[in-house]
Every structure is written in structure tokens, then in C-alpha cells.
Structure 1
Amino acid sequence: MDFTPPLQKGTLLKRYKRFLADVKLEDGSEITIHCPNTGSMKNCLFPGETVWFSTSDNPKRKYPHTWEISATPEQHLIGINTGRANALAEEAIKSGVITELSGYANIKREVKYGDENSRIDILLSDDTQPLCYVEVKSCTLLEQTVGYFPDSVTARGQKHLRELMHMVSLGHRAVLLFVVQHSGINLVQAAEHIDPQYALLLKQAVNSGVEVLAYQTEISATSSIITRSCKVIV
């Protein structure tokens, strides 16, 4: 995924009201940009460090700039825009990078399914094999040397695990895919210390036949692309 037009950069001042962030530009001026991340962004907020943002030409947008990437004091890069995860996953499936999800003729996004009024991020289908339901999650929380999900209690994430288990019970294939958008993360596991119920449900999901994958994203100011798998501990 290339960033077109190219991203601009500035220095993070603060994030506030959940969806806003103030950034200082290289010429000393300050702007407010949209923060496309509904999570706590724990260990992702570093005032004084560099951020990169995209710009929309939609005249109806109150805040035309969108926060895309942050640098950490250790110079790791973090993909802040969680909305990019689904597109990155689709791109990697189509290109064959995610080998576990190759071989399907059709791919659809945001398809209604389940018993709890849900939409699956990616639905893979083929006449020769069962439907494959893929739930995509963006992982950005790094603690010590481990990447954790979620970064806050997530009732929505718990619901998605129940839906995936239900799909397995119906004879379909169900996959939870962590898209790792943090260059410092090489291992992913459930954040039991943050959301113990999610961690418990994840164990139940794996025991019921839900597959769990994690893939690392290579991030730069010009592009973002899924490149390789990384280990998951359940």
C-alpha cells in the first residue's frame, strides 16, 4: 500500500477528545489532525516525537489531515490508522503473502454474518472448500518485547470471538488475523492483564477450532505492506 499523495510530517503535541491530535509542523505552525484510532493507544503516544499524516481533498471534511504513523523514542514506527489493517490484509491475501489464506477464488469485505449483528472483515470463498471468515485486528501495543491485543477492554472484540466460534460450529473456517502495525513487535499474545475475558475467549476459540495468525507490517513514510508472519502465543 503506497501513500498517495505522500505523507507529511510534524511533531506530536498531544492527543485529545479521542479523535483529535495537535501537531507542530516544520515551519513552526500548529494544526489539528484526525486520529483514526478508537483504542487507548497505550504506549503509542509520544509527544515530541515525529508523526506522519495524510491529507484528503474532500472539502466537506472539518479536519482534512489524518494521523497515519508515529515514531517512538526508540525509533520504531507504529501504524496509527487502524482502518488500514483490513486493506493491508486483503492486499497480502491477494498477493499470496499470507500463505495460510491462499487458494480462494473470491474475496469480499464487510459481509454481514453471525448471531450478534456483526460484519466479518474479510470473507473468502471457493467452490472447492468451506467458507473462510477472517476477523482482522490491528496490534500496536508493545510492552517489554511482546505485542499485546487489545490495548483496552473490548466488548466488540469479545463478540467477534464468539461469532468466529459459531462459524466453526457451522462447519466453516474461521481465522483471527493480527496485523502487527509496530516495527518493534515480533511476538503477539492476548493482553490478559488488560482484558482477561478476551484472553479467556481467545483460548476457548482456539480450542474450538478458530485459527489465529499474526503478520508483521513493514512501515515507512511512503508505504505500508505486510511482509512476514510472526509468532502468536495463546
Structure 2
Amino acid sequence: MMVAVIIENPIRGSYIERPNRFTVAVHVDGERRLAHLRDPGRLRELLIPGNDIILRKAPPGNRKTEFDVIALRRGDEWVLVNSGFHSDLAAIVMESSAVDEFQGFRIEKREYSFGRSRIDFLLASEDERMLVEVKGCTLVRRDLALFPDAPTERGRRHIEELEHALSEEYRSSVLFLVFGKGARFFSPNHEMDPEFSSALRRAHEAGVNVIAHSMATDLNGNVLVYPLRRISVLWPDESP
């Protein structure tokens, strides 16, 4: 049985522009509306005027945006661009049998404070603890997924915290959720952020697990987002 995150009552629209980092203007039913974009990346391959967009009505409250952005179209597929669902998707991956590194561990706590950061998950087994940081990756070129699509000092700090945790008797993993059905490989985007790329490689060489897992986003009445497969990690000086 497929396990998926289900997002109900989607609304179709089209993308107009991005007035600021977390707000986009969209056409819905022929009118210009504002929607909250919960993804700090540049998303240049997705935020194209006229591109199809999936929205959800925002919950009641005092906010300027009427909708939340859920997904954008890329070719013949939808791409999730809402980090609010990453935690539940990561939990599905970790609780499945798809990734050997998570076998024997259970989720102990979400949003675990460690050092100067809040790490997405603390896992526990009978005699070990593991920190897991989750990153969403939307940039896919042919079969290669790249992260990040914009420089990320915060992301680099998380990786450094995971490496430091090894010295305090934690195991550590970073899980990249790759939103693209065609992705077969993952690589840090050294051209975009060499500091993040170098930090990730150092952490990997120190013992941090670097795991990438592709995800699919389907629209069939509701939006379904579900894991596909683990994909190989390549480093910038390697090729498929």
C-alpha cells in the first residue's frame, strides 16, 4: 500500500510574479491574488509567468495572502514547493524499509535543539541516537538533482552541527527529499554554493550519512506526495 501525504481541496491557478521572497502573485478565476510561498529557494526553473500552480486556501487569520502555494508544474509533472510538508514526508521515508541507515530507529522528537540550531528529527534505537536534518530539493536537470538553488548559510550551519554531533556520540544524517520523478542522481550544487558543498563533503567524510530520496507529486482530485526511490549521491568531481 502506498503511503502518501494527502493535501485536500487544491485550487488551480497560474503564476504571475514574485513580489518578495515569500509572496507570489497568481491568477485565480481570472483575478490577481496573493499567495504565501513557503520555499526560500530561487525556483527559477519553476517560477515562470503563466506556469500552472496549485494552491490551497489559507487558514483563517490576520495575513495578507489568501492562499498557500503547494506545487508548480515542470513539464509533465508537479513539483512540491511547500516545506511545511517536508517533515511528514521525511517521516514516511524514515519509517519505511527503504533506507538502511534508519533501520532499527524510531522517531523520538521533531524539532530537536542542538547547538545553535533546531534539527528536524531526533531518532533513537535501543542504544543509539541519531540526528536527521531534512532538505527539500526542487532543482532537477535531466536526471541530476542539485541542492541548493541559492546560497544557504543556514543550511551550511545545519551540516556543521551534524558533523559536530558525531563527537558527542550521536549518529547523524542529512536527508534530501528530491521532488522530481526523473531524478536518478543527487549532487551538492558546488557552482551555486561552494561553501555548502564543501561542508557537506567534509561531513560525509567524517561519518555523516548523506541520503537522497526522490518524491512524486500527483494531482488526482487531491494532491498526493509520496516517496519513489533512493537515488545515488554524486560529488562535484564525479559523473554518473
Scaled by the length of structure 2, the TM-score of the pair is 0.88
CA contact (8 A) 2:181 2:228 kept: no
2:121 maps to a residue whose letter is I
Rounded to whole Å, the distance in 1 between the matches of 2:194 and 2:173 is 21
Displacement of 1:35 in angstroms is 0.9
C-alpha RMSD of the superposition: 1.7
Count of matched residue positions in the alignment of Structure 1 and Structure 2: 228
Displacement of 1:19 in angstroms is 1.2
CA contact (8 A) 1:36 1:82 kept: yes
Question: Secondary structure in 1 aligned to 2:7?
Answer: coil
CA contact (8 A) 2:142 2:183 kept: no
- Gaps of at least 5 residues in structure 1 are none
Displacement of 1:59 in angstroms is 3.2
Determine the structure 2 residue equivalent to 1:40.
42
| Inter-CA distance 168–206: structure 2 relative to 1 (3 Å threshold) | same
Determine the structure 2 residue equivalent to 1:57.
59
* Identical residues among aligned pairs (%): 28
Scaled by the length of structure 1, the TM-score of the pair is 0.90
Determine the structure 1 residue equivalent to 2:238.
none
CA contact (8 A) 1:23 1:33 kept: yes
Determine the structure 2 residue equivalent to 1:75.
76
CA contact (8 A) 1:58 1:64 kept: no
Question: More strand per residue: 1 or 2?
Answer: 2
Determine the structure 2 residue equivalent to 1:14.
17
The CA deviation string for residues 73-114 of structure 1, in whole angstroms up to 9 with x for no partner, is x22321111232122101332344444313224431101012
1:15 maps to a residue whose letter is R
1:24 maps to a residue whose letter is H
Displacement of 1:137 in angstroms is 0.5
2:130 to 123, 129, 132: 132
Rounded to whole Å, the distance in 2 between the matches of 1:93 and 1:61 is 34
2:6 maps to a residue whose letter is D
Determine the structure 1 residue equivalent to 2:6.
2
Determine the structure 2 residue equivalent to 1:92.
93
Displacement of 1:64 in angstroms is 3.2
Structure 2 counterparts to residues 1-234 of structure 1, below 5 A: 1-4=5-8, 6-25=9-28, 27-72=29-74, 74-114=75-115, 117-126=116-125, 128-221=126-219, 222-234=223-235
Rounded to whole Å, the distance in 2 between the matches of 1:63 and 1:57 is 10
CA contact (8 A) 2:107 2:121 kept: no
Structure 1 stretches of at least 4 aligned residues deviating more than 3 Å after TM superposition: 95-99
The CA deviation string for residues 99-138 of structure 1, in whole angstroms up to 9 with x for no partner, is 4313224431101012xx1011011012x23111001000
Rounded to whole Å, the distance in 1 between the matches of 2:158 and 2:107 is 22
